[in-house]
Amino acid sequence: MTFYRKLILAALVLTLCVVSLGAYVRLSDAGLGCPDWPGCYGALTPHHAADAINAELAVRPDGPVSHAKAWKEMVHRYFAGTLGMLVLLIFVLAWRGRRETNGGPGLPFLLLVLIVFQALLGMWTVTQMLKPLVVSAHLLGGMATLSLLLWLWLRERGQASHAYFASVDHLRRGAGLGLLLIVAQIALGGWVSTNYAALACTDFPLCQGVWVPAMDFEHGFTLHRELGETASGDLLPLAALTAIHWTHRLMALLVSLVLGWLVVRLFRTPGYAGTAVVISILLLVQVSLGISNVLLSLPLAVAVAHNTGAALLLASLVWLNFKVRRR
């Protein structure tokens, strides 16, 4: 494995860590642990910002700022900053060795642009006070970074080993549909999380004791609004949170059915049984974690694992799409 491929693999693993850390920060209410960007009260670390944090705690002891939350937020930023440097180095190496890479520097350049935009979203997440649209876009950006890095690594790995996968035309549409639905479900899951709607339904499979509860889709899916508010500034009603949660559940059912159908087709195709097993396991674990979040009242470890599971399931579909499109 060349240094270039090792670098891509390191960035890929680090991206999964950054996605999981971002979920941990969000779910532990540490997103405003340092209310400025990129430092913490203008300092490099929360240790150097201790006086400012203590002053904030004296005024708002139950507010969003604390030493623990500040460290959570800054560790996430340190990891994300390191990832940005790795992606920059990947682009430089791809540009310098563009004749030797499998596909040139186009994809690395796209990754670099995405990382820069991710940094802006990270800044806006803080300055816009956790506005749901911004936080959800930041989550999707992290998932997109993971997907593109995985595709890049598979592309370079294939060139080095000459182990190109056989193209199976009848699987292409199913693999593409599965990937599209996973992306939509992750977007819905992000909307649930950023609106704190995970416990709008505390029972399963019913929601508030009925199959179809009272829901307010208009306010629930208004994108441009502040956290916990409607577009007009009123308090976001429970029916809006219920609509968000219930839609995520309904999409989970659709995703499960489509991926179940896809897995059956994979088992029937020579050479794809291993991929089918991986997708099956990840899907079962992900559904179990989602149900556990509801029944156990959103324990932090389970909620973070649910976010990580979504990233891994997405990666498995990216891997499948790469396989069915490479000859």
Of 114, 97, 67, 74, nearest to 2 by C-alpha is: 97
Q: Which residues contact 303 (CB under 8 A, 6 or more apart)?
A: 23, 27, 193, 198, 293
Query: Does residue 205 have a cis bond before it (omega within 30 degrees)?
Result: yes
Note if 229 is an active site residue: no
DSSP percent split of the chain into helix, strand, coil, nearest 5:
70, 0, 30
Cα(194)–Cα(190) distance, rounded to whole angstroms?
A: 6
Helix (H) or strand (E) holding 47: none
The count of other CB atoms within 10 Å of the CB of residue 224 is 8
Q: Which amino acid is residue 191, in one-letter code? A: W
Is residue 286 within 8 Å of 311, Cβ to Cβ?
no
Q: Which residues contact 44 (CB under 8 A, 6 or more apart)?
A: none
Is residue 136 within 8 Å of 194, Cβ to Cβ?
yes
Query: Does residue 64 have a cis bond before it (omega within 30 degrees)?
Result: no
Half-sphere exposure of 195 (CA within 13 A, CB side): 31
Alpha carbon separation from 286 to 12, 184, 273 (Å, rounded): 21, 15, 20
Q: Which residue among 73, 100, 218, 229 is the active-site one?
A: 73
Cα(139)–Cα(194) distance, rounded to whole angstroms?
A: 10
Cα(244)–Cα(248) distance, rounded to whole angstroms?
A: 6
Give the catalytic positions in this structure. 73
